[in-house]
Chain A
Amino acid sequence: MEVAAAPGVDEGLRSELSKQGIFTVKLQDIYNWGRKNSIWPLQFGLACCAIEMIAASMARYDLARFGAEVFRPSPRQADLMIVAGTVTKKMAPQVVRLYNQMPEPKYVIAMGACAISGGPFKQGYNVLKGIDRYIPVDVHIPGCPPRPEALMHAFMTLQRKIGEQTFAGPGRPRHLDPEAPSEFPVPGLGEDDIVPAKNEQVWEAPVMVRG
């Protein structure tokens, strides 16, 4: 297999070569192609969204078609964390810790209303108002719970995102950027609330403009 040295191979030459059975491709593309079609999710569920996640991985919805059927029970072997369900404040430090224990490259799907914003428990005292306050989330899916199709859509979105990542420059994944953090501070459980309430490096409150 030929590997193109420069980003731009002449389109005519490429077409001519492919007629002879020689395919030219950028190393970056084949690298991303391999990565995005073998995402191993971390096997854990927090609430009812996990039931939909299980359904998505079983025969009827068959997540194996996207190369993501190997749910790993250990964070050391997983690439993807699907935060499937309500993250209570008591559980939040453990979720961040699990994320920190995953090796790079790693991705996060926040699945369902609770994981993205606190959902129906947003005004309560004991539920975290979105896991994106502590760890970087790649894909948010709304729904209560999202159907397996929605989770598959999140997978395809994530695959597209991985496919577009470059080796260098601002679009590169975190594991190719020596400056980028791989671990994020684990919040503590205080006397009144979880402390700190958010990781300023990861999340800031959207500015609400009211008419």
Chain B
Amino acid sequence: MESLDQISRRIQDAVPGVRVEIVPNDTPAAQPSLVISSEHALAVAKFLKDDPQLQFDYASNVTGVDWLDSVIKTKGKVKKIVDGEEKEVEETVETKRPGYLEAVYHFYSMRLKHGPVVIRQRTGNRSDQNHLTSLTPIWRGCEFQEREVYDLYGVVFDGHPDLRRILMWEGFKHYPMRKDYVPPDDFEYEPTPHDDVLARAKTHSAK
């Protein structure tokens, strides 16, 4: 398989206007991924599936990730006036990053026996800009998994043929896999509570 750099460049050539960014992965898995802009996702998907060198014909997995608002600390050199003279001082700069939801796709090629390539789409924020492009029109196997991401993370997939909840019931209000989800307080009987369950059992019995 081509390197991710090559794939990324060829995506940019094939789909004009697309924003592609390589996300490095410094864990032992060392599997970098591509973030693509959601409005071009369908064209990118077509390219990945139809390109003769890639032919990613199998969507192995679709999943969601919830990224909360966070502060990223980076060390950088800043010019500052210290005691009347200008000096370069090393400082940690804090940048606020608003939270977003992410859909992660893993594609393989059965015909060329290579893969996976990991594609991510990100929403604007975690509340009202939660729309992404469905890739079900390209890979039929994404249908249930995108429904699952919708059910558990609240990502709305535009172009999905049948976007309903799949695990929880219709009428359920929350998205349980989001990090700020608070599960219902039904700890009236807990024989062996420990750790955070003990804390929850205690707050329940205090009520």
Contact = CB atoms under 8 A, between A and B. Distances in A.
Interface stretch (B46-54, B109-117, B170-178): B170-178
B174 A192 contact: yes
Interface in B162-183: 167-169, 171-174, 176, 181, 183
Contact of A208 (B169, B172, B183, B191): B191
What are the 7 closest A-B residue pairs judged by CB atoms, nearest first? A125-B183, A193-B184, A205-B189, A191-B173, A205-B188, A189-B169, A90-B169
Interface in B153-207: 167-169, 171-174, 176, 181, 183-184, 186, 188-191, 197
Q: For B172, B181, B190, which residue has the most chain A Cβ atoms within 10 angstroms?
A: B172
Interface range on chain A: under 10, 10 to 19, 20 to 34, or 35 or more?
Answer: 10 to 19
A188 to B, nearest CB: 9
B169 A192 contact: no
Contacts of B172: 189, 191-192
A124 B186 contact: no
B186 A197 contact: yes
Contacts of A125: 176, 181, 183-184
Contacts of A192: 172-174, 184
Interface of A: 89-90, 123-126, 129, 189-193, 197, 205-206, 208
Given A189-B171, A193-B184, A126 B176 contact: yes
A124 B184 CA distance: 9
8 contacts: A89-B169, A90-B169, A125-B181, A125-B183, A125-B184, A189-B172, A192-B172, A192-B184
A197 B173 CA distance: 17
B189 A208 contact: yes
Most A-side CB within 10 Å, residue of B167, B169, B183, B190 = B169
Interface of B: 167-169, 171-174, 176, 181, 183-184, 186, 188-191, 197
A124 B183 contact: yes
B183 A206 contact: no
Main secondary structure on B side of the interface with A: loop
A90 B168 contact: yes
A133 B197 CA distance: 21
A127 to B, nearest CB: 11
A89 B188 CA distance: 17
A129 B186 contact: yes
Contacts of B167: 90, 126
Contacts of B186: 129, 193, 197
A129 B183 CA distance: 14
A123 B197 contact: yes
Nearest to A191: B173
A125 B177 CA distance: 10
A202 to B, nearest CB: 14
Contacts of A206: 189
Nearest to A192: B184
Contacts of A197: 184, 186
Given A90-B167, A197-B186, 17 more contacts: A89-B169, A90-B168, A123-B197, A124-B183, A125-B176, A125-B181, A126-B168, A126-B176, A129-B186, A129-B189, A189-B169, A189-B172, A192-B172, A193-B186, A205-B188, A206-B189, A208-B191
Contacts of B174: 192
A191 B183 contact: no
A89 B183 CA distance: 13
Nearest to B191: A208
Nearest to A124: B183
Contacts of B169: 89-90, 189
Contacts of A190: 171
A204 to B, nearest CB: 9
Contacts of A90: 167-169
Nearest to A128: B186
B180 to A, nearest CB: 13
